Amino acid sequence: MRKITMLVAAALALATGGAASAKTTVIYAGKLIADADKGVQGPSTIVVTDDRITSITAGRAEAPAGAEIVDLGDKTVLPGLIDLHVHLTGDPGGDFRSEAVEPDEWGVVVGTKNARLTLRAGFTTVREAGSAQYTAFALRRGTAEGFVEGPRIIAAGPSLSIVGGHGDVTGFREDIHAVLDQGYSCTGAVECAEKVRKASRAGADVIKITATGGVLSQQGRGLGAHFTDAEMESIAQTAHSLGLKVMAHAHGARGIEAASAAGIDSIEHGTFADDAALKVMKAKGTYLVPTLMAFEGVRERLGKGIYTPTVEEKVRMTLGTVGQAVGKAKALGVPIAFGTDAGVFEHGRNAGEFALLVKAGLTPREALASATTVAARLLSMEDEVGRLAPGLSADIIAVSGDPLSDVTALEKVDWVMARGRIAD
């Protein structure tokens, strides 16, 4: 059967003047980390056919005729990195009122710039954690089709929020709120289920909710829980029934605990997570995505007249606590997956998160796993990304040095291939 298929493919290739023939790339690695859990191997040969890894062998194997050769003999080659929390369509700082001036379409233009910066930084898969209407979906298609140089995008679209919550438009007159409304705030289990279905229909790969107050929005009532338990249960059940996972922005401990108990799949930020909240997360298998880089970005902008007084107050509430949840989560066995909140700081600095995770208590190996194998598991894409193995997507990067002894080696990525395409 397979032979017949190949014959047909060959005939088609002849008929179309060879346009359908496969492209083969042979990569020579000085050192190889195929799986963050398995350590470093010596010189290796990776063969890529179109967008797939087709073989990995020890040593320097002979390349087939006509193959493109990439010699990374002095580098460590490893899986493309995964950032589970980015906002490609936005840049840091700026006046929140620009929301009432700039069209959504401008976000796509900003996003093409940021997709490229993110890919160059070694991130070949990202999860878009909230953006205006169809902007992230347009970018997702752009990078998939190769029109835009950038990572594979798993996109949420607009966040679900309570009325006046972190994901809703806040800080304007009521009549302006009505005009800027993205259409995804909800009240009660029924309306929240409806908004999940609406997000699914619009093209969401994942449902993003704001389960507590947030630091950078104008809503002024702190960082505590927002949705009711019934609303979050409805969101989680409806999303899961559609095959979608839910990621919940959450800072306050009781909001984190309630979101996890409701069946939400990952807690983003998790700043004030206490032992009670983390025990529920452990029991429910909820992942923590710490986004420590977000707070670096916020710290750099504090006291400079960039943020409104409402926001500055919330920033000061959080900065002393950032990172503490990571050590506690690790001690209790809560899975920790890599996400940065890029967009709150400059896109392209994503790998700065690795050193912060190590400072917070992870080993370099755990930090690398968080951005590869663990992140792939949270995405349910472990047969596609997060490791280098035959059959997986050809998402491959190379760095100088050994990231398993010094994670800052990941802050300068020398070579990137995403879905078989070499970033130039």
* Residues that bind Zn ion in the complex, under the rule CB under 5 A: 129, 341
Nearer to Zn ion, 129 or 204 (CB): 129
Instruction: Please count the residues of the chain.
Output: 424
- Please give the residue whose beta carbon sits closest to Zn ion in the complex: 341
Dist. CA 80–CA 157, nearest whole Å:
24
Could you tell me the smallest distance in angstroms from the CB atom of residue 126 to Zn ion? 12
Dihedral of CA atoms 159, 160, 163, 168 in degrees, nearest 10, equals 0
Write phi, then psi, for 251 (nearest 5 degrees): -110, -55
Could you tell me the smallest distance in angstroms from the CB atom of residue 101 to Zn ion? 22
Exposed/middle/buried for residue 101 (C-beta within 10 Å: 0-12, 13-18, 19+): exposed
Could you tell me the smallest distance in angstroms from the CB atom of residue 391 to Zn ion? 32
Could you tell me the smallest distance in angstroms from the CB atom of residue 269 to Zn ion? 8
Nearer to Zn ion, 271 or 393 (CB): 271
Could you tell me the smallest distance in angstroms from the CB atom of residue 296 to Zn ion? 14
Nearer to Zn ion, 51 or 346 (CB): 346
Nearer to Zn ion, 343 or 403 (CB): 343
From the CB of residue 355, how many other CB atoms can be counted at a distance below 10 Å?
18
DSSP secondary structure of 194-218: HHHHHHHHHT-SEEEEE-B--SSSS
**Contact predicate 55/46, CB 8 Å:** yes
**Contact predicate 131/87, CB 8 Å:** yes
DSSP secondary structure of 254-317: HHHHHHHHTT-SEEEE-TT--HHHHHHHHHHT-EEE--HHHHHHHHHHTTTT-S-HHHHHHHHH
Could you tell me the smallest distance in angstroms from the CB atom of residue 407 to Zn ion? 22
145: left (phi over 0), alpha (psi -120 to 50) or beta: alpha
**Contact predicate 266/248, CB 8 Å:** yes
From the CB of residue 313, how many other CB atoms can be counted at a distance below 10 Å?
13
Dist. CA 356–CA 373, nearest whole Å:
19
Nearer to Zn ion, 27 or 292 (CB): 292
Nearer to Zn ion, 90 or 335 (CB): 90
| Residues 6 or more apart in contact with residue 353 via CB below 8 angstroms | 83, 291, 292, 293, 338, 339, 340, 371
Nearer to Zn ion, 129 or 199 (CB): 129
Nearer to Zn ion, 36 or 223 (CB): 223
Nearer to Zn ion, 88 or 368 (CB): 88
